[in-house]
Chains A and B, each alone.
Chain A
Amino acid sequence: MIQINNLKKHYGMDETLIKAVDDIKVHIEQGEYVSIIGPSGSGKSTLMNILGCLDKPTSGDYELDNNNVSQLSNNHLADIRNSKIGFVFQSFNLLPKLTALENVELPLIYTGIRKKERIKMAKAVLDKVGLSDRYSHKPSELSGGQKQRVAVARALVNNPAIILADEPTGNLDTKSTADILQLFDALHKEGATIIIVTHEDDVASHTNRTITVRDGNIADDRRIL
């Protein structure tokens, strides 16, 4: 599913050179449930941006779902983000003026799917995350846990190859955190490929594989069976 080789991301030149990601090699199979942990400044955010096709590596290869995406144009990357990746952010990143349904529809607009079909698909995923009674609520009318479930629904709606969650429980209380992690567990059981970037061991312990990043390199890669 994901095949990364000699991946490097450098910023600046000569003396000010920062090696945010310095030679990472990792392989993630379809259906894996992975967490990436590491202290701040370790390079895990940069890695996450490259995994999410928001950023391009300085060198190295990144193969996602059999496509080499490491040096694609911005427009192609937008297509990849749209069709292959479902994002879940720490701060939800829902559009405040749109309803839950409209927020979930967003990626489908850029795919070019018709309104009628969009609504059907968006309702289906909202039902799946247990928000069938919240279609027309604005984000401000939803609790933190509900907002994050809308975000998960939005990530799922395009049936992506991977779900990429960046500190998905960082802004949630214990109860909501448990809810969301349960949701991820359930998605994993259905066969989804999930990557969670986090610094909480509790969250990492839910996953089957924990990759620890330090100083731009993978310091540890542990599978729990």
Chain B
Amino acid sequence: MKILELINIAFSSITSNKMRSLLTMLGLIIGISSVVTIMAIGEGSQNSIEENLSSLGLNNFNLTYERNVDISPSEEFTIKDIESIEEEFSNRIVSAIPSYSGSGTIISDIEETSISLSSADEYLKEIEDLTLLSGRSIMTSDLVDRRNVILIDNELSLELFATTQSAGEKILVKVGQNTNQFVIIGVYEKEENSMGFTTSTGHIPYTTAEKLLSTKGEFSNISIAINENENVDSLAEEIINYVEKLNHNIGEDKYTFFSLSSQIDMVSDVMGQITILISAIAGISLVVGGIGVMNIMLVSVTERTREIGIRKALGAKRADILIQFLIEAVTICIIGGLIGVGVGAFLTRIAENIMGTPMSISLSAILLATTFSSLIGILFGVYPANKASKLDPIEALRYE
């Protein structure tokens, strides 16, 4: 019952000095709002990076040579290796194809547009999780006949033909010195992403890519798509061991793999660390804000010495005065913290608009902010409150 009265006293003291209370809170407002905003931005961009990367396909990886090791001709990847892998792991992988990639230029009357070419097989649509807007994906016959067919994205299609329904149109693609005519067989929807990947990718049959992008049919990457219930890392290790067995170089670590999921983990890790670091820097302003609160509370105690004397003379115990001032400090901090969360939410909205990435303030950020600010209130409020509670009533009543 009495505690409610003490809260009441603390509140009226805060509201009777609005300007001062607000200035006291300012340090905390700045601190809390920056921590909250940075956490939201960090989490938001982390999520968006993960989403963007995972939309590129998670159930595949590339087998390649370890860097800085000598690969003798007998150890190089061959079509026979691929066939053996497909046979050995037939019920665990979707497909294994030689991976060629390169860049080309689309020649047209108006302007030249660059395009990156990547090899694919009949599982392209599933592996890359493509949404076709028109036409079809690559078929087995395209692979067998090494047809000059290509899938392009909607943006490129719009740019070239002013429509997304460009399947059947022909384009000229120049790779190196050679120019080849390609038939567009399908248009897929380009994933929205905020990371500025502006070059468009054209998917062509790997057999076509072989004659177009490589010399003598050599390739240094095997692109393997695995079943959904398989784990990328462990299956990749198994396949590497198998290839080593095929090429009689077990344990020499000449092959390795890279996958998007491992890259995502790395990027997330780095983003998380950066967020924590910046939050910690912003957290310093919270400590400064806390010292500001203590400063004002000390002034307030001195200023209200007489009030304390009167209250004590009328029967206030030491604990009553202590709690009154402590509640005042904590209340100031909590109100400051809540305003800080509000300001943080506003800043997050602005950042969201500027960066174009969806962000939201997490519940944990709000809880963290309020817990932290009440802790600051208690930590920096105890000293002034204790000082107030220890005042001798006779001295305090005599204070002018």
Determine the distance from Cα of A114 to Cα of B314 in the docked complex, in whole angstroms: 17
- With beta carbons under 8 angstroms apart, the residue of A87, A89, A97 that contacts B12 is A97
A16 at the interface (CB under 8 A from B): no
How many angstroms between the C-alpha atoms of A109 and B1 in the bound complex? 9
Bound-complex Cα distance A109 to B316 (A): 9
A residues less than 8 Å from B313 (CB atoms): 52, 54, 81, 87, 93
Closest to B311 in A: A106
From B12, which residue of chain A is reached at the shortest CB distance? A97
List the A side residues contacting B1 at CB < 8 Å.
Answer: 112, 114
Q: Give the docked Cα–Cα distance between A225 and B179 (Å).
A: 132
B250 to chain A, nearest CB (A): 82
> Do B310 and A110 touch across chains, with their CB atoms under 8 A apart?
no
Distance, CA A111 to CA B2, complexed state (A): 9
Query: What CA separation (Å) do A111 and B316 show in the bound complex?
Result: 9
Contact residues in A for B310 (Cβ distance below 8 Å): 93-95, 106
A83 interface hit (Cβ, 8 Å): yes
Within 8 A of A (CB), among B1-20: 1-2, 5, 9, 12-13, 16
Q: How far is the CB of B388 from chain A (nearest CB, A)?
A: 14
> CB-CB < 8 A to A74: which residues of B?
317-318
CA distance A49 to B394 in the complex (A): 8
User: Do the beta carbons of B394 and A54 come within 8 Å of each other?
Assistant: yes
CA distance A158 to B312 in the complex (A): 15
Distance in angstroms from B320 CB to nearest chain A CB is: 6
Interface residues on B, range: 20 to 34
Q: Is A66 an interface residue (CB 8 A)?
A: no
Residues 281-327 (chain B) with a chain A CB within 8 angstroms: 306-307, 309-320
Q: Please count how many residues in chain A sit with their CB below 8 Å of the partner chain's CB atoms.
A: 26
Q: Does A78 contact B (CB under 8 A)?
A: yes
B384 adjacent to chain A (CB < 8 Å): no
Complex: how many Å from CA A97 to CA B11?
A: 13
Are A107 and B394 in contact (CB-based, < 8 A)? no
Residue among B2, B311, B320, B393 with the highest chain A CB neighbour number at 10 A:
B393
The answer to the question of A79 belonging to the interface, with a C-beta cut-off of 8 Å to chain B, is yes
With a cutoff of 8 Å between Cβ atoms, the chain A residues found around residue B312 in the complex are: 78, 81
CB distance from B10 to the nearest CB of A (A): 13
Q: Are B2 and A109 within 8 A (Cβ)?
A: yes
- A63-99: which residues lie under 8 A (CB-CB) from chain B? 74-75, 78-79, 81-83, 87, 89, 93-95, 97
Chain B: CB-nearest residue to A79: B315
Q: Please tell me if B397 contacts chain A, counting CB pairs below 8 Å.
A: yes
**Which residues of the other chain, B, contact A123 by a CB distance below 8 angstroms?**
none
Q: B397 and A78: CB pair below 8 A?
A: no
Q: Is the CB of B314 within 8 A of A154?
A: yes
Max chain B Cβ within 10 angstroms of own Cβ: one of A54, A75, A78, A83: A78
- Cβ of A55 under 8 Å from chain B: yes
On whether A97 and B316 interact (CB within 8 A), knowing A49-B394, A106-B311, A109-B5, the answer reads no
Tell whether, in the assembled complex, residue A82 and residue B314 are in contact, meaning their CB atoms are under 8 Å apart: yes
Residue of A nearest to B5 (CB): A109
Q: Is the interface of B mostly helix, strand, loop or mixed?
A: helix
- Give complex CA distance A114, B1 in Å: 8
User: Please, what's the 1-or-0 string for B32-53, where 1 marks a CB less than 8 Å from any CB in chain A?
Assistant: 0000000000000000000000
Residue of B nearest to A98 (CB): B12
Residues of A within 8 A of B2 (CB): 109-110, 112
How far apart are B316's CB and chain A's nearest CB, in angstroms?
5
- For the complex, give the distance between the alpha carbons of A111 and B5 in Å: 11
Q: How far is the CA of A55 from the CA of B314 in the complex (A)?
A: 14
Say which residue of A55, A75, A97, A109 sits within 8 Å of B394 (CB atoms). A55
Instruction: Give the chain B neighbours of A95 by CB distance below 8 A.
Output: 307, 310
Partner of B393, one of A54, A82, A83, A111: A54
Closest CB in chain A relative to B315 CB, distance in Å: 2
For residue A49, which residue of chain B has the nearest CB?
Answer: B394
- How far is the CB of A203 from the nearest CB of chain B, in Å? 21
Tell me the minimal C-beta distance from A11 to chain B in angstroms: 12
A108-152, CB < 8 A from B: 109-112, 114
Enumerate chain A residues within 8 angstroms of B16, measured Cβ to Cβ.
Answer: 97
A81: which B residues are within 8 A, CB to CB? 312-315
Which B residues are in CB contact (< 8 Å) with A93? 306, 309-310, 313, 397
CA distance in complex: A158, B315 (Å)? 11
> Is there contact, CB below 8 Å, between A107 and B314?
yes
Q: Write out the residue numbers on chain A whose beta carbons fall within 8 Å of the beta carbon of B13.
A: 97
Nearest-CB residue, chain A, relative to B312: A78
Interface pair B317/A78, CB less than 8 Å apart:
yes
> For B316, what are the chain A residues with a Cβ–Cβ distance below 8 Å?
78, 110
Q: Complex Cα distance A110/B397, Å?
A: 18
Contacts of B311 in A (CB 8 A): 106, 110
Residues in chain A near residue B5, CB distance under 8 A: 109
Find out whether the CB atom of A110 lies under 8 angstroms from the CB atom of B314.
yes
| Complex CA distance for A162 and B313, rounded to whole angstroms | 14
Taking CB atoms, residues of chain B closer than 8 Å to A154 are: 314
Contact B397 A89 (CB under 8 A): yes
Q: How far is the CB of A99 from chain B (nearest CB, A)?
A: 11
Q: How far is the CB of A224 from chain B (nearest CB, A)?
A: 30
Please provide the chain A residues from 46 to 61 with a CB less than 8 Å away from any CB of chain B in the complex: 49, 52, 54-55
Contacts of A97 in B (CB 8 A): 12-13, 16
* Cβ–Cβ contact A106 & B393, under 8 A: no
Q: Which residues of B contact A55 (CB under 8 A)?
A: 394
Q: List 6 A-B contacts (CB under 8 A).
A: A49-B394, A75-B319, A78-B312, A78-B318, A79-B317, A110-B315
User: Chain A residues in contact with chain B, CB under 8 A?
Assistant: 49, 52, 54-55, 74-75, 78-79, 81-83, 87, 89, 93-95, 97, 106-107, 109-112, 114, 154, 158
Closest 8 CB pairs of A and B: A82-B315, A110-B315, A107-B314, A78-B317, A93-B310, A109-B5, A75-B317, A81-B315
